[in-house]
Amino acid sequence: MSKCRIPLGPFHPLLEEAEFFDIKVEGEKVVDIEMETGWMHRGHEKISETKSYTQSIFLVERICGICSTSHPFAAAHAMEDVDNVEIPERAQYIRIFIGEMERIHSHLLWLGLAGHFIGYDTLWMWAWKYREPVLQIFEKVSGNRNHYAMFRVGGVSRDFDNALIPEIHPTLDMLEKKMLMIAGAAQDDPVLRSRLKGVGVLTKEAAINYCATGPTARASGVDIDVRRDDGLEYDLVDFPVRVLHNGDVYDKLVVRVLEIIDSVNIVRQCLEAFPKVGGEYLNKVKHISPGEGIGRYEAPRGEVFHYIRSDGSNRPLRHKVRAPSFSNIPTYKASCVGIPLADALITLAAVDPCYCCTERSIRVVDKNNKKLEHNLLTMSREKTANLKKAVAGSEKTPIDRIFED
Amino acid sequence: MSDKDTEFFEKFQDKITRVIKKPRRIYFNIKNEDLWEIADYLFNTMGCRLSICTATEVYDGLEVLYHFSDDTTGIYYNPRVKTGLENPEINSIAPMIAGANWIEREMYDLFGIMFKGHPDLKKLLTINSPHFGEDDHPMRFNRNRTKEK
């Protein structure tokens, strides 16, 4: 069978920033995939060398729009690592609170979009409905729905208002209940299972060889979590590390749903601690001595890495930034080959790149030189619809039953 | 310090110079010809993960700092390899570690370091940029910059 080359990108709703995928297919099957990046290179590392340390933290917050707090978290760690700055206990709890609330809304965003891509729009609307109260809590706590500007070297920039605790608890209870319901639906629903189970498998060996991080690695059986391995703030709270072993899209979904429930529990521990732990929330650092520092943080997508090299002035000599997607995106090469084109969409999305661009349809020329227009999103949805008919028949799925109630 | 750590430094004590030890972070200098052996030991024997590499231009050359993370103990091993300012060249570890492929391409792109033995060395980030040509490496100071057109 002759090979056909399908360009995906550089602007496509599935890709974080703008990347170009060159997919080679034989019939429906993907046989090779090549990637090209660099459409959104903004030179943050170079800009950071011209900013003071406090300004750098605000700068790196703008790298990602969804997990905006993970870069300041890691950058602050790196700057503190140069001098081993100690952070007040209250500031540590505030940092955990912000980080975990962000993990909840980032995973909910992924969950919704994953549902949307496979044609499960009910899941999409639910997940985004439950995401909204989380953003409203952020607005109350920090004044912003996104880009919270909470981080400083040596602590946080604003105190947490203890009067907000009674308002946050009902949202957490609601989130936990709804997440258990979605976890149950994912387990019971035959369509969701057969659409995602065994799709886009990333083996443990490939995950280790490609140096994957975060939920992508944990769903493949690699037991890493920076929160546990690096300690620091997260030594104050208890949480499990969720590791699953199949490496398919279904396991990546389950890992994320379980992590939302864990994050809710961590936030509860923080809320319990806030009235007990008082005192300072910022240890004012006036000078960073010459040296090197490494900081990292478990963002919703994986390990964020920052390296700071200081010469004793108020600006970094070198500021290296590595986002988790940089190591997760190349795993496509291992997981996409050999699967149908309709599944390539959800496999590309399963690594959780950010979605900020517009939809793009693909154009293929057939034997008679006529234009065939396909839309990957429609193809993926059609597959789910056919599966739904075949599996469920006339019976109603659990999701339909809940929707009727 | 863990046992793995002591074992590593005993094994390579002739090849490692200028060790800086901080809590959970170890920086040390190695030579270019020992890079493959040390990276092989760190990645395959000790089970470390290659997080990223940082290239830096300093007054007497270019430095590449490899960040190997031992996820069982939380320790970072950072071997540092130095090369000259003119025609910088370092041995590639991409044939051994698939994750190093993009990392080395990024350093080639921004700093112009040639990685010897890399399977497919081409630009990563500025490949489609209209402002940079094939010989332009934007993170270098005063060298190979694009002239104003």
What is the pTM (predicted TM-score) of this model?
0.85
- A76-80, A140-144, A193-197, A309-313: segment of lowest average pLDDT: A193-197
Q: Measured between CB atoms, which of A210, A293, A322 is closest to B98?
A: A210
Percent of chain A residues past pLDDT 90, beyond the cut: 20
Q: What is the CATH number of the domain that holds B35?
A: 3.30.460.80
Model pLDDT for residues B57-70, shown as the tens digit of each residue: 888 889 999 999 98
Q: Measured between CB atoms, which of B56, B71, B100 is closest to A309?
A: B56
Q: A356 lies in a domain?
A: no
Q: Answer yes or no: is pLDDT of A172 > 50.
A: yes
Identify whether the C-beta of residue A69 lies closer than 8 Å to the C-beta of residue A102: yes
Which domain does B31 fall in, by range? 3-85
Residues 6+ apart with CB under 8 A from B62: B55, B56, B82, B83, B84, B85, B88, B111, B113
Q: Number of CB pairs < 8 Å for A and B?
A: 89
Q: A104 lies in a domain?
A: yes
Q: B56 lies in a domain?
A: yes
Q: Do B99 and A210 touch (CB under 8 A)?
A: yes
Which domain does A265 fall in, by range? 53-322
Q: A231 lies in a domain?
A: yes
- A22-26, A76-80, A185-189, A299-303: segment of lowest average pLDDT: A185-189
Mean pLDDT score, A260-270:
92
Whole-Å CA distances, A58 to A54, A76, A152:
7, 11, 9
Residues of B within 8 A of A230 (CB-CB) are 24, 74
pLDDT at A124: 86
* Other beta carbons less than 10 A from residue A92's beta carbon: 23
pLDDT at A362: 37
DSSP element (H, E) containing A291: strand A291-299
Q: Do A292 and B124 touch (CB under 8 A)?
A: no
How many domains in chain B?
A: 1
Nearest CA of chain A to the CA of B97: how many Å?
6
Q: Which residues of B touch chain A, with CB atoms under 8 Å apart?
A: 20, 22-25, 27, 49-52, 54, 56, 65, 67, 69, 71-74, 76, 78, 97-102, 123-129, 138-139
Can you tell me the ipTM of this complex?
0.90
Q: Answer yes or no: is pLDDT of B125 > 50.
A: yes
Identify whether the C-beta of residue A141 lies closer than 8 Å to the C-beta of residue A236: no
Q: What is the CATH number of the domain that holds A268?
A: 1.10.645.10
Q: Measured between CB atoms, which of A38, A45, A211 is closest to B49?
A: A211
Q: B144 lies in a domain?
A: no
Mean pLDDT score, A18-34:
82
Alpha helices by DSSP H, listed for A23-88, are: 44-48, 53-61, 70-83
pLDDT at A266: 93
Model pLDDT for residues A326-365, shown as the tens digit of each residue: 888 888 888 888 888 888 877 877 776 643 322 223 334 4
Q: Do A294 and B76 touch (CB under 8 A)?
A: yes
Q: B28 lies in a domain?
A: yes
Q: Enumerate helices (H) and strands (E) in chain A, giving the number of each.
A: 16, 10
A404 vs A226 pLDDT, higher one: A226
**Residue A303: helix, strand or coil by DSSP?**
strand
